[in-house]
């Protein structure tokens, strides 16, 4: 299952020199730099590089395609597709598919997971901003996202073990600690979760809270 680390076309190199305060065993974590901008003109998306400056992920969303977004590796091969499924209810679901899902809002594939935005009137104030469920929406809860994406300060928590498996943090430039703002930030990932799946969570949070 792609929720966990597996082989892929992209090679992500751990970044050892940065401080992962608030995490344990930080030497095993992978640190990526996420730029909230597409490399293509007239597209919205993301550009993700590793500590060696290699392009590992990219997202290029053309105008008008607001419901779907495809995460690609550095060579442009599709890895995951996220899709918002709207229904006549208070809580919308965002679905994640392996590879490139079918167009026009439908797919013959089964989603590998579902993510739901926290709705204040339905859920207690426990610090969660979103929840990820394995498989279809009725399956068990897998991850809880805590913090604030708008401030680029989030933790992805494995619900079964109450263990932080990924973090979104502000990125600072140089030894002076000058923040690079909200458009450039860090995604730090523990080895047992696939970096591509962690990046899909970033894409979903961006759709929910931007």
pLDDT of residue 79 exceeding 50, the answer is: yes
Quick one: fold of 30-209? Porin (2.40.160)
Q: Token digits for 112?
A: 């590998």
Closest CA relative to residue 50, chosen from 29, 70, 65, 23 = 29
Closest to 8 (Cα-Cα) out of 138, 210, 190, 196: 196
pLDDT tens-digit map of 86-129: 765 566 789 999 998 766 555 567 889 999 887 765 555 567 89
pTM, full prediction: 0.81
Mean pLDDT for the stretch of residues 13-26: 42
Give domain limits for the chain. 30-209
The alpha carbon dihedral of 135, 24, 130, 80 has a sign of negative
- Identify the pLDDT of residue 64: 55
* 35 burial via Cβ count (<10 Å: 0-12, 13-18, 19+): middle
On average, the pLDDT of the chain sits at 80
pLDDT digits (tens, 9 = 90+) for 139-153: 678 999 999 999 999
- Look at residue 8 in the predicted model and tell me its pLDDT: 41
């Amino acid at each position: 299952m792609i929720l966990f680390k597996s082989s892929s076309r992209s090679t992500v190199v751990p970044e050892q020199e940065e401080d992962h305060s608030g995490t344990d065993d930080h030497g095993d974590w992978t640190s990526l730099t996420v730029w909230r901008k597409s490399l293509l003109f007239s597209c919205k998306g993301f550009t993700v590089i590793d500590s060696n400056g290699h392009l590992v992920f990219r997202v290029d969303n053309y105008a008008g395609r607001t419901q779907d977004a495809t995460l690609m590796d550095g060579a442009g091969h599709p890895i995951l597709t996220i899709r918002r499924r709207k229904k006549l209810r208070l809580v919308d679901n965002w679905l994640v598919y392996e590879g490139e899902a079918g167009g026009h809002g439908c797919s013959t594939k089964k989603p590998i997971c579902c993510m739901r935005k926290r709705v204040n009137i339905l859920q207690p104030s426990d610090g969660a901003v979103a929840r990820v469920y394995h498989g279809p929406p009725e399956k068990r809860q897998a991850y809880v996202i805590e913090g604030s994406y708008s401030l680029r300060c989030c933790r992805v928590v494995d619900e079964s073990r109450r263990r932080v498996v990924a973090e979104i943090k502000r990125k600072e430039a140089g030894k002076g600690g000058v923040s690079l703002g909200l458009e450039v930030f860090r995604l730090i990932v523990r080895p047992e979760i696939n970096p591509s799946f962690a990046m899909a969570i970033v894409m979903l949070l961006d759709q929910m809270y931007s």
